[in-house]
A and B are shown apart, each in its own frame.
Chain A
Amino acid sequence: MPGLEIHGLTVRFDGAAAVDAVDLDVPAGSVTAVLGPSGSGKSTLLRAVAGLEPPAAGSIRYDGRDLASTPTHRRGFALMFQDGQLFPHQTVGRNVGYALRLRRPAWRRGARPEEGRRVDELLELVGLAGYRDRMPGTLSGGERQRVALARSLAVEPRMLLLDEPLSALDRDLRERLAAELHDILRRAGTTTLLVTHDQEEAFAIADRMAVLRSGRLVQAGSVTDVWRQPADAWTARFLGYATVIDGAGAAALRALVDPAATWTQLALRRSAIRLDPGGPLRARVLSARVTPEQLRLELEVDGVGRLPAVAEPGLVVTVGETVRARVVPDRLAALPQGR
């Protein structure tokens, strides 16, 4: 199923390329996240797909049809902004029903009963039943985002475009809403392209992921593939790997986890090194900090160098003490360079 196909897309602002020759596919029915730091061009990419930025080069196709001459309002891609962008002078119900009203002829005044039912259904779907007559100004940030989502879904869009849908919310709400968004999108079966700088958000909502850096696509694939096999050191760090090592240190760890392999660069998550009295690594403790979940350590590992590590929170460790540790193989990723 083809869905969205982006080929060689370039968008320039005053000569500088914000999006640089990007190739990306969003298969129909999938939820794809474009992950990148601020300024990486991810929002521009999204706006180009929506038809809000004219591309300098490349093509955007949907179901095999080129969209170059299709204006925004005929693309059938509903874009949801970071802050929702509800129309402030309309009630929640009218906001959600906006697209429905667009479909009826301009001379027909007064809402049809089926429009009202559809609005209620959508509000129910996003968990805001009974909010129909509220004004956007009286809603919390999370509620506003959910109304914006309902408004976007009302179009029954061919594709949903989400621009940092949860970034404006506080952490607690973000986590809860990410899970809800995941369910709602699957239930509605809508093809979705979302951009975010927050890898947790991407993991929570998407099933496919693309990493963008300075306007260029670094890596794309399923969320687990990208997460397990980052393309390079920069991507690994951006995806939350705590450190990347190479040279003798990498060789020493390689000998422990996979002696047959040939890679020379390794990305480690914080939990890749774990204190273990029977472990093969010998290290000196440089610092230790207690968090609710675990004990976070900084170690000087013999033959490897400085590495972050974790231990059970109850363990008592003093700085300067010599400890033993082991490697947790599924918490690290070999980088393709020299693999």
Chain B
Amino acid sequence: MTVRARLAVAALAATPVIVLAVFFVYPVAGMVGRGLYPDGSLDLGGVLSVLGRPRVHRVLWFTVWSAGLATALAVVLGVPAAFVLHRLRFPGVGVVRTLVVLPFVLPTVVVGVAFRHLIAPSGPLGALHLDGTAAAIVAALVFFNVSVVVRTVGAFWEGLDPRAEEAAATLGASPLRVFATVTLPGLLPGIASAASVVFLFCSTAFGVVLTMGGLRYANVETEIYLLTTQELDLRAAAALSILQLVVIVILLGLSARTRRAPAPGRAAAIARRPRRRDTALLLWTAAVVVFLLTPLASLVLASVHTDDGWGLGHYRALQTTGQGNALLVPVTEALWTSLRIAAGAAALALVLGCLVSYLVSRRWRTRMGRRLSRVFDGAFMLPLGVSAVTLGFGFLITLDHPPVDLRTSPLLIPIAQAMVALPLVVRTVAPVLESVDERQREAAASLGAGPLRVLLAVDLPVALPALVAATGFAFAVSLGEFGATSFLARDDHPTLPVVIFRLISHPGEANFAMAMAASVVLAGATSVVMLLVERLRVGSVGAF
């Protein structure tokens, strides 16, 4: 590489690195530092003693088992559905695929509201007495993450050459044997990758556990929130943050190890029509879809059910500040605030995501280059797993005074949300860029195209749908972001998820009804965005 090319790469890498340093590492370090240096001197013993508290043990145990169980269930539900939705061809399969991916982008508070309504003693499933139980929390976590399994494993499944399975069948292996000896070993990396990401999401889930766990159940994430906001025990919060960070780095490392680029030159699997022996799998998938749709359908129905019959009364109430003035601004205003912020966050995530994706998708010639590229890739995946609460609180305590004072800046929330959405953009765009045959770039260069021209002529046309899809994805995720935003949103400029949380925390039937209507609006907005994204048919959206 020439000196000039080195400088160009360094300049490209500088922007995202600086942004990551200032808006991710600095706040997180600030939050952690607050706990490690309570009085200006290192207090490791104090931090360690936090980990010995019985309540912390309970929280850790709940985090591990709820996330583990939810991951296992998501895999069990998702793998058969991945086969049906990615290897079979039948009318409406596209619609079902979209339906399955929706829960992942639904705002956590919306899911919390939907599940609470469903299982409340007076709700449709009230007879099951699930309200406030751990089972309900696990169900909500599964609800969110089935789509990750379907997407990731489905993408792997599409990449598997069906002829290997056919060869096994002609050698005398029964369908079950074929699956166990040929298909499953091929899918394992995908399943492992999906499971590790799902475990990551479940163990750092915030909105769902906060809205559904009440006082009985807390995971590490909600505990950090409670410790910082209610008990002001920053040392304990920092201890949990550090523990979480270490575990997440290990998990991300494992996930990166199992995540393999699909083999080049593979034969594209041809989806086939369902046969009679697929019946059980089709029914299984139908059950998964019902499980995913029930909370949403019942939420929509309840939102149009007023005291005097069906009507849009709860939606009209969105123009007010709620029963007993629960809010400072009407819900409609919060919606506009949310849309504005999400647009800013998506734009920011796109710019940064493009730079990162470009750099990690290059084929580096030196071992040093490859190693740096991997570290770079991993560093920008970190926000995926680092507690949004830690990030939000870190923003609050580090970016409110020089050298970086953004306390009153309208950019504060968009930046925080962009950091949360950035890994998703990278994971959507980078695989597409990696799929471009290097020889195409070489051919363009040999025909006289400069580096920029190569980028425009070879990479851009391939990556364009992915870029648009990633922008939409980032927008949808920002729209529903709750963890970090809940710290940063000011009471007079709240976002819609924050408003929904306020409404359900305030007493009053009317407030919960308004929360349901607002949830439907928010879910509708993210769904519309995701439907448009789905039409672009970019396989890497929501796959890890």
* A109 contacts chain B at the CB level, 8 A cutoff: no
Report Cα–Cα, A267/B173, bound state, in Å.
47
B167 adjacent to A80 (CB under 8 Å): yes
* A288 contacts chain B at the CB level, 8 A cutoff: no
Q: What residues of B have a CB within 8 angstroms of the CB of A54 in the complex? A: 275
A87 adjacent to B164 (CB under 8 Å): yes
* A190 contacts chain B at the CB level, 8 A cutoff: no
User: Using a CB-CB cutoff of 8 Å, which residues 239-275 of chain B contact chain A?
Assistant: 275
Range, interface on chain B: 20 to 34
Q: What residues of A have a CB within 8 angstroms of the CB of B185 in the complex? A: 87, 89
One of A69-77, A123-131, A207-215 at the interface: A69-77
Chain B 315-352, CB within 8 Å of chain A: the 1/0 string? Answer: 00000000000000000000000000000000000000
Q: What residues of B have a CB within 8 angstroms of the CB of A154 in the complex? A: 171
* A111 contacts chain B at the CB level, 8 A cutoff: no
Give the contacting residue for B173; candidates A51, A73, A80, A152; CB below 8 A. Answer: A73
* A155 contacts chain B at the CB level, 8 A cutoff: yes
Closest to B170 in A: A79
A85-B163, A89-B185 known; A50-B170 Cβ under 8 A: yes
Q: What is the distance, in angstroms, from B198's C-beta to the closest C-beta of chain A?
A: 24
Report Cα–Cα, A186/B174, bound state, in Å.
29
B164, B169, B174: most-surrounded residue (chain A CB, <10 A): B169
B167 adjacent to A85 (CB under 8 Å): yes
* A52 contacts chain B at the CB level, 8 A cutoff: yes
B169 adjacent to A155 (CB under 8 Å): no
Q: What is the distance, in angstroms, from B87's C-beta to the closest C-beta of chain A?
A: 14
Report Cα–Cα, A87/B183, bound state, in Å.
10
Closest to B188 in A: A89
Chain B 154-187, CB within 8 Å of chain A: the 1/0 string? Answer: 0000000101101111111111011001100110
A85-B161, A87-B182 known; A52-B174 Cβ under 8 A: no
A87-B182, A89-B185, A89-B186 known; A155-B164 Cβ under 8 A: no
B171 adjacent to A98 (CB under 8 Å): yes
B181 adjacent to A98 (CB under 8 Å): yes
Closest to A75 in B: B170
A85-B161, A87-B164, A89-B186 known; A72-B170 Cβ under 8 A: yes
Report Cα–Cα, A47/B163, bound state, in Å.
11
Closest to A47 in B: B166
Q: What is the distance, in angstroms, from A164's C-beta to the closest C-beta of chain B?
A: 12
B164, B186, B275: most-surrounded residue (chain A CB, <10 A): B164
Q: What is the distance, in angstroms, from B19's C-beta to the closest C-beta of chain A?
A: 41
The 7 A-B pairs of least Cβ separation, nearest first, read: A79-B170, A72-B169, A85-B167, A99-B171, A89-B185, A85-B164, A73-B169
* A197 contacts chain B at the CB level, 8 A cutoff: no
Identify 20 residue pairs between A and B in the complex whose beta-carbon atoms are under 8 Å apart, listed by A's number. A50-B166, A50-B170, A71-B169, A72-B169, A73-B172, A73-B177, A73-B178, A77-B170, A78-B171, A85-B164, A85-B166, A98-B168, A98-B171, A98-B173, A98-B181, A102-B171, A102-B177, A151-B171, A152-B170, A161-B170
Chain A 135-158, CB within 8 Å of chain B: the 1/0 string? Answer: 000000000000010011011000
* A238 contacts chain B at the CB level, 8 A cutoff: no
Chain A 103-128, CB within 8 Å of chain B: the 1/0 string? Answer: 10000000000000000000000000
Q: What is the distance, in angstroms, from A125's C-beta to the closest C-beta of chain B?
A: 17
Chain A 59-84, CB within 8 Å of chain B: the 1/0 string? Answer: 00000000000011111111111000
Q: What is the distance, in angstroms, from B161's C-beta to the closest C-beta of chain A?
A: 7
Closest to B178 in A: A73
Q: What is the distance, in angstroms, from A27's C-beta to the closest C-beta of chain B?
A: 21
A99 adjacent to B167 (CB under 8 Å): no
A152 adjacent to B168 (CB under 8 Å): no
Q: What is the distance, in angstroms, from A72's C-beta to the closest C-beta of chain B?
A: 4
Q: What residues of A have a CB within 8 angstroms of the CB of B178 in the complex? A: 73
Report Cα–Cα, A54/B277, bound state, in Å.
13
B167 adjacent to A73 (CB under 8 Å): no
A81 adjacent to B181 (CB under 8 Å): no
Q: What is the distance, in angstroms, from B89's C-beta to the closest C-beta of chain A?
A: 10
Give the contacting residue for B171; candidates A71, A89, A152; CB below 8 A. Answer: A152
Apart from A73-B171, A77-B170, what are 6 other A-B pairs with CB-CB below 8 Å? A73-B175, A76-B172, A85-B163, A85-B167, A87-B168, A99-B171
